[in-house]
Chain A
Amino acid sequence: MSQAATPRTPIESGVPDPFLYMHPTLKRNYGNWDWHERLRPGVLRHVSRTGESIWTVRAGTQRQMDVFTIRLLCDIADEFADGHFRFTTRSNIEYMVADEAKIEPLIEKLQKEGFPVGGTGNSVSMISHTQGWLHCDIPGTDASGVVKSLMDKLHHEFTHEEMPNRVRITTSCCQVNCGGQGDIAINVQYTKPPKINHDLVANMCERPAVVARCPVAAIRPAMVNGKPSLEVDEKKCICCGACYPPCPPMQINGDDSTKLAVWVGGKHSNARSKPTFHKLVVANLPNNPPRWPEVEEVVMKILYTYKENARDWERMGEWIERIGWPRFFELTGLAFTKHHLDTWTGARHLMNHSTHIHF
């Protein structure tokens, strides 16, 4: 390659020092904050022990941003926020404002440019999402599109704090689940074993590594049409797609096999109850771009049932734990099936070993 001719040795500088870029008020009060309040959705005020205040205005972005959008966000920072900003873990932009008088004009400007102000407190924040068809090598769907479609519908819930507690929604384009756990999670769930191109396996896959990758030992080496390949015991196969990244000829995704599942009750925080994983609610929803209306319908149904029925401060999973799963399925009008009974390691601990019953 051409760059090999004049190699430049990298400077292994590691994680950049945030103090080079941090808003001066944050720098001045680092580690010395006292309390905060939310003045309206999208606006926080933090007060330090010295009495100094900083206001934060939070707005949604598309996460996948072109340089023109980023420069626009920079212009806004220069005009209203002393030339500084940060991003939250859910890709919201946060402008820190030292001058209270600039808050309203900043909000107006953001709204005018199409960036919704909100995502704080008991709202539905931006959906965390993965790469999808835009850039991933093993995607079943396009999370960016699913997220755009859902956030269009959730605009009101982002810009208002009307939920019982915060709602964190996640999406993932395959069962690797890079999107993580969520109050509601929308994840690809494959429904068919991989389709194997036996002509390519020997050249593209290290077969023992692929055999070892299978969580249920369903893959074994085989000779097919005189070529060394792999075969799948389809009765054992759980269609997880773990074999696909190390062996692309074992294609797991496809129009007939890529479906979406909706899960609920994941929670990262330790507040009140311990952290919990999300639980399956609906599977087999169609992968239906560009707007995934079937997914949207289920998500909205669950979200608004929660909004109507949960008590203040109950997260999705905590609400369901109180009312019980029978009532959850009844209220949402969704089906409870044999597929909701876990069969994986540890499943016995998930069954009800009591007479605690919700009638």
Chain B
Amino acid sequence: MLYDISRGLPIGLDETLKVGSCGSRADAPAARNEKGTGAMAGKGKSAKSGGGKVKKHPTPMLDELETGPWPSFITGLKRLRDAEDKQYAPMMNDLLGQLEHSYEEKLGFWKGGVVSVYGYGGGIIPRFSQVAEKFPESKEFHTLRVMPPAGNHYDTKVMRQLCDIWEEHGSGLIAFHGQTGNIMFQGATTENTQKAFDALNEIGFDLGGAGPCMRTGMSCVGAARCEMSNFDEQRALREIINEYLDEMHRPAMPYKFKFKFSGCPNDCVNAIMRADFAVIGTWRDDMKVNQDEVRKYVAKVGRKYAIDNVIANCPTRALSLNDDDTLEVDNESCVRCMHCLNVMPKALSPGDDKGVSILIGGKRALKVGDLMGTLIIPFMKLETDEDYEKLVEFAGEVMEFFADNALEHERIGETIDRIGLPAFLEAMEIDPDPNMVRHPRTSCYVRTDDFTEEAQKYFERKKAKQAAEAARGAAAQ
């Protein structure tokens, strides 16, 4: 049997997954609703009253979400429902009807299936209603996951084009953005999915990832508007994702694989916990200190406040306030946590020798429990074209390792957990580094008969590194 591992469902069963196939879900709530006082009780199967003008579903529970000061998504859905000259108005009426039904029954009524566009295997999230007999106009309500411009920059021209396309072929409902970073065009029929994609694709947009594949990447605003940026986040994102698009558009991996790019250790895109491959900007040399600005800051907030909130908050005790209100930094102890830079952005800045750290294996609970990424590359220079090529190549090697070695439905963090970090490092030809651990092992259950040879390798590497640094220093002079 053909098997769609993205959905975990046998291919060809999408028909059975449509209306009312899942008796316990579709039938029981309907039965409950009949005797209830719900707005739909006794209203028959369709919202249409005799084939004429569309009758609007009452939505008393959803109406309550229109009060209050925060912008209401329900008001937006109603605007779409009430745009009676638009093709999507009947669909959005039934969508609101189904959503109200969910609020009454406290259950979701969507099922997946198999819908794709020509040439691609992923990128569409199929949704078929299980209560389509009540809400026929929204019986198909698929999402197109579309990759945004890196850093989520838009101009109004392209944004209006996106709206026009979705007005013509879709529901008029768009989310900026989904949790992985896609623009979520929610609500196309099976037939219109292709049309919407073609139109979006013609103006330069492409589908993102869904299913067991490389997923849409995400980068922070970074170099476009942030002085903490340590590399070209948007370039790194685009170079990696665009190099491996085949892995995104034709899902063939054991499970999902996500990339995220944060310009500094503040990690505004949550890369360490939410990405299989987290690229985080950092620097190796001394942070920059503008002592005049330090003095101004101390004068403004007071010495006690500066000591309590900047100096005392340094996690490695690398800071000291001098008697003249200038700052002393023990850069060798600094771990680039960012706190003091965040508090005094005018006085402190990252150094000049910038690059990235790479952490691999972040994910949430399923199935071994939450994992944060593990530091695999403490520092990689990211300035020249060659540096970026090296990063792209390394990303490819890690994905290849994942594709070859992970079990079905296993994330790379779990694979590393299963085989042990030394085996992963050996496969990637990366040498162990004390930065990779919080501290060395505490368990004695390990066979160490080649410890001496491994130590010898360490000393050889150290020697080679020192020689390279000396050569680089000589060349620089």
A: residues with CB less than 8 A from B are: 1-4, 7-18, 20-23, 26-27, 30-31, 33-37, 46, 54, 56, 60-71, 73-75, 77-78, 83-89, 91, 93, 96, 114-116, 128, 130-142, 144-145, 148-149, 151-153, 155, 175-181, 195, 197, 199-200, 203-206, 209-210, 212-213, 215, 240, 242, 245-249, 251, 253-255, 258, 268-273, 275, 277, 287, 289-291, 311-313, 344-346
Contact = CB atoms under 8 A, between A and B. Distances in A.
Nearest to B241: A15
Nearest to A7: B118
Contacts of A199: 23
Contacts of A37: 345-346
Contacts of A17: 149-150, 238
Nearest to A76: B156
A88 B160 CA distance: 19
Max chain B Cβ within 10 angstroms of own Cβ: one of A13, A46, A209, A271 = A271
B121 to A, nearest CB: 11
B166 A67 contact: yes
Interface in B71-89: 71-74, 76-77, 79-80, 83
B266 interface: yes
Nearest to A71: B163
Contact of B266 (A60, A135, A270, A289): A270
Given A35-B345, A89-B269, A148-B68, A67 B174 contact: yes
A8 B16 CA distance: 29
A65 B176 contact: yes
B39 to A, nearest CB: 13
A1 B114 CA distance: 13
Contacts of A273: 315, 337
26 contacts: A2-B191, A9-B118, A10-B120, A15-B242, A16-B206, A21-B155, A26-B153, A31-B232, A65-B175, A67-B166, A74-B163, A89-B269, A130-B179, A133-B107, A178-B179, A180-B270, A204-B13, A206-B8, A240-B366, A268-B267, A272-B314, A275-B272, A275-B372, A290-B64, A312-B308, A344-B369
A200 to B, nearest CB: 6
Given A35-B345, A87-B176, A289-B61, 8 more contacts: A67-B167, A135-B143, A180-B364, A203-B13, A206-B1, A255-B106, A272-B313, A277-B372
Contact of A8 (B22, B118, B269, B337): B118
B431 interface: no
A58 to B, nearest CB: 11
B218 interface: yes
B81 to A, nearest CB: 9
B286 to A, nearest CB: 18
B225 A54 contact: yes
Contacts of A89: 177, 181, 218, 220, 268-270
Max chain A Cβ within 10 angstroms of own Cβ: one of B8, B151, B173, B220 = B8
Contact of A152 (B68, B176, B349): B68
B111 interface: yes
Contacts of A272: 313-315, 337, 339
Contacts of A148: 65, 68, 70, 72-74
A311 to B, nearest CB: 8
A351 to B, nearest CB: 15
B443 to A, nearest CB: 12
Interface stretch (B40-48, B197-205, B458-466): B197-205
Interface of B: 1, 3, 7-10, 13, 16-17, 21-25, 61-62, 64-65, 67-74, 76-77, 79-80, 83, 95, 99, 102-103, 105-112, 117-120, 125, 127, 141, 143, 147-160, 162-163, 166-167, 172-179, 181, 186, 190-191, 194-195, 197-198, 201-202, 204-207, 217-218, 220-221, 223-227, 229, 232, 234, 237-238, 241-242, 245, 249, 265-270, 272-274, 305, 308-309, 313-315, 335-339, 342-343, 345-346, 349, 364-370, 372, 408-409
Closest 7 CB pairs of A and B: A246-B8, A152-B68, A14-B242, A66-B76, A133-B102, A270-B265, A151-B70
Contacts of A255: 105-107
A18 B61 contact: no
Contact of B225 (A56, A136, A144, A290): A56
A304 B232 CA distance: 39
Contacts of B338: 269-271
Given A138-B108, A195-B24, A10 B197 contact: yes
Nearest to A33: B227
B194 to A, nearest CB: 4
A197 B7 CA distance: 19
B225 A96 contact: yes
A71 B338 CA distance: 38
Contacts of A135: 110, 125, 127, 141, 143, 186
Contacts of B190: 1
A181 B270 contact: yes
B227 A46 contact: yes
Contacts of B109: 133
Given A11-B206, A21-B153, A289-B106, A66 B366 contact: no
Given A13-B206, A21-B158, A152-B68, A204 B16 contact: yes
B147 A271 contact: no
Given A246-B9, A269-B265, A270-B265, A10 B111 contact: no
B61 A290 contact: yes
Nearest to A128: B179
Contacts of B408: 209, 212
B77 A66 contact: yes
A296 to B, nearest CB: 12
A1 B242 contact: no
Given A12-B206, A33-B225, A271-B265, A215 B368 contact: yes
A198 to B, nearest CB: 10
A176 B174 contact: no
Given A74-B160, A151-B70, A181-B273, A31 B229 contact: yes
Nearest to B118: A7
A131 B186 CA distance: 10
Given A23-B153, A89-B268, A115-B71, A46 B226 contact: yes
A312 B269 CA distance: 23
